[in-house]
Amino acid sequence: MRVKHISVKNLFGVFNHSIPLNLEERITIIHGPNGFGKTIILRMLDGFFNSRYAAWRTTPFEEFRIDFEDDSYVRILPFKNGSDPIADVYYAEAGSDEKMNQASLSLSPVPDDAVRDDALTELDAENERSERGVHRLIANRVARERQEVEPKWLYNLRKSVNIHFVRDDRLLKRKVRKQQPTRAIASDDWPNFELTVDRYAKELTEVIQATLAEYGEVSQALDRTFPARVIKETPTKSLSSHELQQKLRSLEEKRAYLMGAGLLDSDDAVDGQPQQDIDDRTKSVLSVYVNDTEKKLGVFDKLAAKIDLFKRIINQRFLYKKMSIGREKGLSFTTPKDRPLPAARLSSGEQHELILLYELLFKVEPDSLILIDEPELSLHVAWQQQFLEDLQEITRLSSIDVLIATHSPSIIHDRWDLTVELKGPAR
């Protein structure tokens, strides 16, 4: 479900903001002076759908409303229940304004021991999807302890909107232990941090290996039935000699493309293609082979397109460095003299650029709403001016909506038509 409008009343006791999202071009930019609530709005939006309530507990407001493309909407109103902060949630389904769903949502902090117990056991994948699930798991566990039950309509509503928040403090990630400890963890031992670029290098290796495993499964299934399907193939259903030549040539080009993307080794190439006329029986065999190979290589299509765009943008931006992608190291970098360069040696601007692009390409699901806080951090002005152009390519490839909070005119560049200004109260 797509978000089409966000509004907040009496934010900090002062501001009334209305933010229509640009659903056609899929990019909306909010800007305004410091202290007007740009980041808080992103945090509250992320917090509602991903069960992270810190911003909701500490931010004064009168009403937060989210409207969806199907004309349904949700209103969140705060009130105090003794020492326990509560939000009343009202949801009007499309075409049912008179029948309003209502529930109370506890915004109380999650106990430290609950976070540790659940996060340590559930965050093995170390990615945003599992993290989102863990936040919900923790919230549900605490709700059960308080004898609170989240209504099914609220659960389904929050599940139907995928929100991914690219925060301003994105250069470091918490390390997550994969083994449940046998003793209590001291607060100064948990958590530790690692460079996000190092984390993402490992993650990309896992993504590539998972895709290769799928490729192997598809290949094995097709190879197992290949003889039977060749026997059943009739010459009348076979491709012509010309069509076969074209298909085989196209497959060789695709293999070369996938090798360049770091997804196939050069050993995976085959020896050329037939140059002479092909008899009918051979046509039958090659027709099955071509169809099978198209299915096998098709497993890589989505990942290869993302890697291609990722490499192209990064290698255009990074001066005197080259990024490579492969199944063993994920991301790796070299100097102009082909000397290895640790990711930690990248500048802060280069790390910010790489992290932004990686998250937008590899860590989001189609039809998600991506929240980006201050994409301009540490970026050269020229990179800022190119950011929206890169982002438009990514939104077309990944089918995502993006809401950006920025102070930078260079990020906006010549696209003021995509902006919404957050203004102060009328005087």
In tens, the pLDDT along 87-97 reads: 999 999 887 76
- What is the torsion angle, in degrees rounded to the nearest 10, for the CA atoms of residue 354, residue 355, residue 358 and residue 363? 180
| Whole-number pLDDT of residue 75 | 96
Cβ within 8 Å of residue 204, ≥6 positions away: 325, 330, 331, 358, 362
Does the pLDDT of residue 334 top 90, yes or no? yes
Report pTM: 0.85
Question: Once rounded to an integer, what is the mean pLDDT over residues 177-191?
Answer: 50
In tens, the pLDDT along 15-67 reads: 999 999 999 999 999 999 999 999 999 999 999 999 889 999 999 999 999 99
Least confident interval from 76-85, 198-207, 343-352, 388-397:
76-85
For residue 151, whether the previous peptide bond is cis, meaning omega lies within 30 degrees of 0, is no
Q: What's the pLDDT band for 267 if we cut at 50, 70, 90?
A: low
Task: Indicate the residue type of 135.
Answer: H
For residue 111, the number of C-alpha atoms closer than 13 Å in the C-beta half-sphere is: 9
Does the pLDDT of residue 193 top 90, yes or no? no
Does the pLDDT of residue 206 top 50, yes or no? yes
Bigger pLDDT: 236 vs 417: 417
Q: What's the pLDDT band for 232 if we cut at 50, 70, 90?
A: confident
Q: What percentage of the chain reaches a pLDDT higher than 70?
A: 81
- Residues 100, 74: contact at Cβ < 8 Å? no
| Whole-number pLDDT of residue 20 | 98
Bigger pLDDT: 389 vs 188: 389
| Whole-number pLDDT of residue 427 | 63
Q: What's the pLDDT band for 126 if we cut at 50, 70, 90?
A: very low
Bigger pLDDT: 16 vs 123: 16
Phi-psi region of 388 (alpha: psi -120 to 50; beta: other; left: phi over 0): alpha
Q: What's the pLDDT band for 275 if we cut at 50, 70, 90?
A: low
| Whole-number pLDDT of residue 230 | 85
| Whole-number pLDDT of residue 125 | 40
Does the pLDDT of residue 134 top 60, yes or no? no
